[in-house]
């Protein structure tokens, strides 16, 4: 048998758009360049979704209460988020990456992993491909992107954070562990605040110090997390890049009200808006939900959830809203009209978008022109999706 050629070293890149929401706002309004900018809600419960580097120098950051950010940086310009615009730029960003490699996995609206193994004809092929992608993102979209090329996705993610803003790092094959060693152990994506605190308590502050510990000791002390830490700290991560992303497990939407809500009709309207978003996400992913979940947070921060498993998996806005409102009515009757701070709607227990139609469905389909049916709702939703995809999210709105 002929021998196969030498195995190519794995080259995984992580691309991360810098201050993405702010960057898009600056593309549309160049007067914002150089100014401290915050994207988020201005209300009493508004939260920072994105902060420019100028604002970060004052201590502002994402997920921070807007009121606190403005106390730190009162001169900041606050822009309301425009998520449909950000999604459009995100789609273009991911399309550029797919021109570089067919193996692209989205990590969110502003980041992606790309397998560059074997791209190009020489050892510099991965670097050249990353440089081309960054040049196109900047030239075509007007935003900057930081990236790192490494031997695994974990190290590429850590490296892209180190490359910010607007930088590119390439680690040589076999150089992942040496790159990680001097960095704080908290830089590893798997190390949260609690695990970092426990590691600090035993004298581990850098990733290199974690890598030097005995795997059996780490397992005894931290369980499976300890074994995972031992691998990741040495730059070992066998997780492949999944073309097209990972399977969607659940879809949800929630909103925190500016002031507590005590009117059932207003809560119902919020659920209908959530149902539109969740339904569109399900249809886009080619999934149906067997389970619908309602989430309520009362004004005293107590949070409750209720779920309902459906007889027929659904993807339609109407079915999701109906299930959510039924759960809301049940909770509301026993709540004593407690003020609501947050309401959310989730869809889980997802299945492929292929269901067996029964006689009732077929009969309903024949009567669709004169009587409401699940099939009619689904056709209506898909028509609405197509119009919004072409003309924008605000092209259509549903009546009450």
Report the alpha-carbon distance of residue 325 to residue 42 in Å, rounded.
Answer: 29
Report the alpha-carbon distance of residue 260 to residue 339 in Å, rounded.
Answer: 5
Q: Tell me whether residue 231 is one of the annotated catalytic residues.
A: no
DSSP tag of 151: S
Identify the helix (H) or strand (E) that includes residue 296: strand 287-298
Choose the catalytic residue: 25, 54, 105, 111: 111
Q: Hey, what long-range contacts does 143-147 have (CB within 8 A, 24 or more apart)?
A: 143/17, 143/18, 143/20, 143/23, 143/24, 143/27, 143/89, 143/93, 144/17, 144/18, 144/23, 145/15, 145/16, 145/17, 145/18, 145/93, 146/15, 146/16, 146/18, 147/13, 147/14, 147/15, 147/16
Report the alpha-carbon distance of residue 238 to residue 347 in Å, rounded.
Answer: 31
**82's tokens:** 């425009």
Torsion over CA: 61, 97, 250, 191 (sign): negative
**283's tokens:** 């249809």
CA dihedral 180, 184, 185, 191 (to 10 degrees): -110
Which residues 6+ apart lie within 8 Å of 307 measured at CB? 291, 292, 293, 294, 327
**219's tokens:** 């397992």
Paired sense of beta strands 145-150 and 37-40, if any = unpaired
Helix axes 374-391, 359-366, angle to 10 degrees: 60
Paired sense of beta strands 111-115 and 12-17, if any = antiparallel
Which residues 6+ apart lie within 8 Å of 71 measured at CB? none
End-to-end CA distance of the chain, in Å?
71
Report the alpha-carbon distance of residue 51 to residue 37 in Å, rounded.
Answer: 6
**95's tokens:** 């399309």
Residues identified as active-site: 111
């Amino acid at each position: 048998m002929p021998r196969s050629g030498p195995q190519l070293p794995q080259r995984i890149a992580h691309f991360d758009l810098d201050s993405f929401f702010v960057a898009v706002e600056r593309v549309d309004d160049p007067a914002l360049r150089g100014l401290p900018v915050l994207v988020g809600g201005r209300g009493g419960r508004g939260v920072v979704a994105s902060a420019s580097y100028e604002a970060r120098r004052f201590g502002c950051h994402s997920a921070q209460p807007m009121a606190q950010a403005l106390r730190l940086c009162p001169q900041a310009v606050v822009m309301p988020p425009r998520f449909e615009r950000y999604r459009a730029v995100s789609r273009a960003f991911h399309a550029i990456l797919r021109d570089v490699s067919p193996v692209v996995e989205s990590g969110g609206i502003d980041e992606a992993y790309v397998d560059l193994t074997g791209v190009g004809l020489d050892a510099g092929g991965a670097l050249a491909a990353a440089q081309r992608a960054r040049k196109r993102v900047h030239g075509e979209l007007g935003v900057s992107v930081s990236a790192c090329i490494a031997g695994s996705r974990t190290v590429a993610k850590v490296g892209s954070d180190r490359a910010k803003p607007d930088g590119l790092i390439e680690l040589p094959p076999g150089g992942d562990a040496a790159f990680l060693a001097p960095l704080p152990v908290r830089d590893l994506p798997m190390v949260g605040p609690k695990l970092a605190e426990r590691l600090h308590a035993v004298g581990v502050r850098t990733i290199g110090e974690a890598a030097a510990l005995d795997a059996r000791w780490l397992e005894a002390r931290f369980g499976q997390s300890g074994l995972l830490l031992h691998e990741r700290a040495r730059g070992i991560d066998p997780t492949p890049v999944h073309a097209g992303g990972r399977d969607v497990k659940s879809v949800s939407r929630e909103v925190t009200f500016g002031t507590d809500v005590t009117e059932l009709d207003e809560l119902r309207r919020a659920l209908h808006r959530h149902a539109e978003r969740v339904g569109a996400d399900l249809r886009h992913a080619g999934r149906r939900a067997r389970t619908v979940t309602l989430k309520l947070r009362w004004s005293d921060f107590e949070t409750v959830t209720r779920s309902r498993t459906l007889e027929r998996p659904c993807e339609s806005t109407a079915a999701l809203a109906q299930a959510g409102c039924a759960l809301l009515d049940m909770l509301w009757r026993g709540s004593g009209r407690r003020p609501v701070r947050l309401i959310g709607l989730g869809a889980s227990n997802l299945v492929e978008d292929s269901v067996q139609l029964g006689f009732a469905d077929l009969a309903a389909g024949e009567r669709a022109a004169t009587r409401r049916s699940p099939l009619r709702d689904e056709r209506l939703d898909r028509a609405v999706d197509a119009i919004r995809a072409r003309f924008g999210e605000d092209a259509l709105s549903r009546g009450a």
